[in-house]
């Protein structure tokens, strides 16, 4: 079988290419992708060549872990039925082309156990499940309270705020860029320069700005926690202020299946909305332009690539 996929051939260079994909086994599904999202965190690092080295890293690669599509073929042991709409957190089915994370393609082959059935009503918004689950994972870390301060009003920051409110919290959100200050749903967005508050019990950083850590520690209540929900290269902080507050610094890593299940349950119950987060849409054959827009346009919260013309 063939697929059309976004391929990063080297840092700064990408194209939509036709690739051969693996033949499915009994536990696999073939999914025709309808929409995929562009990650301005992980994919920016891959695009710029700044992603830290880890096992499996290298070019050429197919990026993406934010896809939604319909199962075309389901193996006998896949646990999924053909015709189902599913969220696809990635695939590695491209032979010598690496799948990091491999979801940005018109068709993928992956284990049935990896995909998640989603309601038809979710549609294109299914591409947001990875970020929603990432936000839920940060909120649900053991031993922390609901965040009373969230740093960054991008897609993850907005999802963190919405999930916090759904759980009964009342967060403040910091955002330095006035173009992203709008769109709050039941919470307050302020510039950090205007925040005279102290004694935050839990701060979640969704900005990815490693230079903020000292400022955030300075805003903590004694025994408070800073949760790092972005992706960082090197982090440093002054020890005395952290020592005086007995500050806790936690890292929120990859979301779990339980996080996706929790998010879907909130959506089904009407307690979480994904509206207003997909701000830009382009056909997948214009991927080069779409990636530039996603990375450079501050008004772009989430870019959705439409693959339906390739199926």
Closest-CA residue to 209 (of 162, 243, 178, 177): 177
* Shared domain check, 211 and 115: no
In the chain, the number of structural domains is 2
* Shared domain check, 89 and 25: yes
Q: Report the DSSP beta bridge partners of residue 19.
A: 3
233 versus 87: the higher-pLDDT residue is 87
Q: Would 168 be classed as within a structural domain?
A: yes
CA within 13 Å, CB half, 275 = 8
Q: Would 144 be classed as within a structural domain?
A: yes
The CATH number covering residue 181 comes to 3.40.50.720
Q: Which of 213, 236, 251 is the last residue of a domain?
A: 251
Name the DSSP letter for residue 181.
S
Q: Which residue has the tokens 């693996």?
A: 22
How far, CA to CA in Å, does 162 sit from each of 153, 166, 169, 194, 299? 11, 6, 9, 22, 19
* Shared domain check, 239 and 136: yes
pLDDT in tens, 3-57: 999 999 999 999 999 999 999 999 999 999 999 999 998 899 899 988 887 777 8
> What is the rounded CA–CA span in Å between residue 80 and residue 67?
17
Are 157 and 150 spatial neighbours (Cβ–Cβ below 8 Å)?
Answer: yes
* Shared domain check, 293 and 220: no
Q: Report the DSSP beta bridge partners of residue 149.
A: 172, 203
Q: Report the DSSP beta bridge partners of residue 220.
A: 200
Q: Would 272 be classed as within a structural domain?
A: no
Name the DSSP letter for residue 106.
S
The structure tokens listed for 103 are 């979801």
> What is the rounded CA–CA span in Å between residue 70 and residue 54?
31
3-state secondary structure of 74: strand
pLDDT in tens, 131-152: 999 999 999 999 999 999 999 9
Q: Would 112 be classed as within a structural domain?
A: yes
Find all residues with CB under 8 Å of 82, minimum gap 6, and list them.
71, 72, 73, 74
Name the DSSP letter for residue 210.
G
* Shared domain check, 104 and 18: yes
* Shared domain check, 105 and 44: yes
What pTM did the predictor assign? 0.95
The CATH number covering residue 303 comes to 3.90.180.10
* Shared domain check, 91 and 196: no
Domain that residue 293 falls in: 2-122+277-310
249: exposed, middle or buried (Cβ count in 10 Å: 0-12, 13-18, 19+): middle
* Shared domain check, 224 and 181: yes
* Shared domain check, 283 and 187: no
Q: Would 225 be classed as within a structural domain?
A: yes
Q: Would 17 be classed as within a structural domain?
A: yes
Q: Which of 233, 251, 269 is the last residue of a domain?
A: 251
* Shared domain check, 138 and 223: yes
Q: Would 271 be classed as within a structural domain?
A: no
Name the DSSP letter for residue 120.
T
Q: Which of 217, 251, 285 is the last residue of a domain?
A: 251
* Shared domain check, 98 and 191: no
* Shared domain check, 159 and 230: yes
pLDDT in tens, 46-69: 999 888 877 778 999 999 999 999
Q: Would 265 be classed as within a structural domain?
A: no
Closest-CA residue to 260 (of 104, 75, 66): 66
pLDDT in tens, 179-237: 899 999 899 999 999 998 889 999 999 998 999 999 999 999 999 999 999 888 889 99
């Amino acid at each position: 079988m063939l697929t059309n996929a976004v391929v990063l051939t080297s840092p700064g260079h990408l194209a939509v290419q036709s690739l051969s994909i693996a033949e499915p086994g009994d536990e696999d599904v073939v999914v025709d992708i309808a929409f995929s999202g562009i990650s301005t965190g992980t994919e920016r690092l891959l695009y710029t060549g700044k992603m830290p080295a880890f096992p499996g890293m290298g070019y050429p690669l197919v990026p993406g872990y934010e896809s939604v599509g319909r199962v075309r073929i389901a193996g006998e042991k896949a646990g999924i039925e053909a015709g189902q709409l599913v969220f696809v957190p990635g695939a590695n089915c491209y032979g010598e082309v690496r799948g990091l994370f491999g979801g940005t393609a018109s068709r993928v082959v992956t284990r049935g156990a990896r995909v998640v059935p989603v309601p038809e009503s979710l549609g294109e918004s299914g591409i947001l499940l990875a970020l929603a689950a990432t936000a839920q994972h940060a909120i649900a870390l053991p031993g922390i309270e609901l965040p009373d301060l969230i740093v960054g009003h991008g897609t993850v920051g907005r999802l963190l705020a919405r999930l916090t409110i759904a759980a009964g919290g009342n967060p403040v959100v910091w955002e330095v860029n006035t173009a992203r200050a709008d769109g709050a749903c039941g919470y307050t967005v302020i510039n950090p320069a205007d925040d005279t508050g102290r004694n935050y019990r839990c701060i979640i950083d969704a900005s990815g700005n490693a230079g903020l850590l000292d400022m955030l520690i300075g805003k903590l209540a004694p025994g408070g926690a800073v949760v790092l929900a972005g992706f960082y290269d090197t982090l440093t902080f002054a020890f005395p202020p952290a020592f005086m507050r007995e500050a806790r610094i936690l890292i929120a890593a990859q979301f779990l299946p339980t996080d996706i299940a929790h998010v879907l349950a909130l959506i089904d119950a009407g307690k979480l909305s994904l509206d207003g987060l997909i701000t830009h849409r382009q056909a997948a054959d214009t991927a080069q332009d779409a990636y530039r827009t996603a990375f450079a346009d501050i008004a772009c919260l989430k870019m959705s690539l439409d693959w339906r013309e390739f199926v």
